[in-house]
Amino acid sequence: MNLRRTIESLLLAALLMPAGMLLATETYRPPTVTSSTANWYDTEQATNLFNQVQALALKTRKEVARLQVQEEELAWQVQSQRLMRAKNDINTMADDLARLNRMKDGLEPWQKSLVNKITPEVHEMVYQMDAAVAKLNNHKNRLYLALTEYPQNINMIYKSANQMAGTIDTVTQYAHAEEDMAALHQRAHNPVS
């Protein structure tokens, strides 16, 4: 019964649509640059870098989450391997952030704002990672290591990676929603003949 109503609704909607909309195909429209100072190439590069940074933040969060497990007895060598993988990802994020800062003048306002929002998180992760590595190198005994700031360092890296991934996701979704709304507004005021 519900399937029949759905089909009837779709047919009614098709009958009420202008013929041009039924035959029109969706064509690719390149992203527009909304700021007079933004550069299309830089905005595209920034989008790719933001995606990479977000993926690395999620990977870092997953890696250090394994180090937070207290019940699991991890040898310092295993902890060191996991820490080094996370450190490499954090260093790549720092490099990507440096590239974003160099191209900042050619970015959209929302992208500039996002660079400013994630900068403290990347700096925090670098700082906490350096501290965690130093603690691990100085205290190879699990019990002694637990008495240092090492658990807090790991926790702060986790929180910063989580915060950064969430911020990138939220800001980019908001920016895309605004672009979609602007496109709908444009279509409403300039209908296809």
Give percent above pLDDT 70 in the chain: 77
Please indicate, yes or no, if residue 57 is contained in any of the structural domains: yes
pTM score, whole prediction: 0.74
pLDDT value at residue 123: 96
By the 8 A CB rule, do 129 and 83 touch?
yes
Q: Are 97 and 53 in contact (CB under 8 A)?
A: yes
Q: Is residue 109 part of a domain?
A: yes
Summarize pLDDT for 45-67 with one digit per residue, the tens.
Answer: 999 999 999 999 999 999 999 88
Q: How many domains does the chain have?
A: 1
**Structural domain contains residue 137:** yes
Higher pLDDT, 18 or 176: 176
Average pLDDT, the chain: 82
State both tokens at 36. Answer: 């007079």
Per the domain annotation, does 114 fall within a domain?
Answer: yes
| Per-residue model confidence as pLDDT tens digits over 85-115 | 999 999 999 999 999 999 999 999 999 999 9
Q: In this structure, is residue 8 part of a structural domain?
A: no
d(CA 148, CA 113): 36
Over 90: is that where the pLDDT of 31 sits?
Answer: no
Sign for the CA dihedral angle at 44, 48, 53, 54 comes to positive
pLDDT at 128 over 90: yes
Query: 166: domain range?
Result: 39-189
| Position 185 confidence tier, pLDDT thresholds 50, 70, 90 | confident
24 domain residue, yes or no: no
Residue 3's pLDDT band (boundaries 50, 70, 90)? low
Instruction: Tell me the CATH number at 164.
Output: 1.20.120
For residue 7, tell me if it sits in a domain: no
Q: Is residue 11 part of a domain?
A: no
Other beta carbons within 10 Å of 16:
7
Stretch among 13-17, 172-176, 177-181, 183-187 having the lowest mean pLDDT: 13-17
Count of CB atoms within 10 A of residue 67's CB?
A: 23
For residue 75, what pLDDT is reported? 75
Say what angle helices 40-68 and 109-138 make with each other, to 10 degrees: 30
* Contact of 24 with 192, CB cutoff 8 Å: yes
The DSSP string of 114-155 is HHHHHHHHHHHHHHHHHHHHHHHHH--SHHHHHTSSHHHHHH
**Dist CA 157 CA 159 (whole Å):** 6
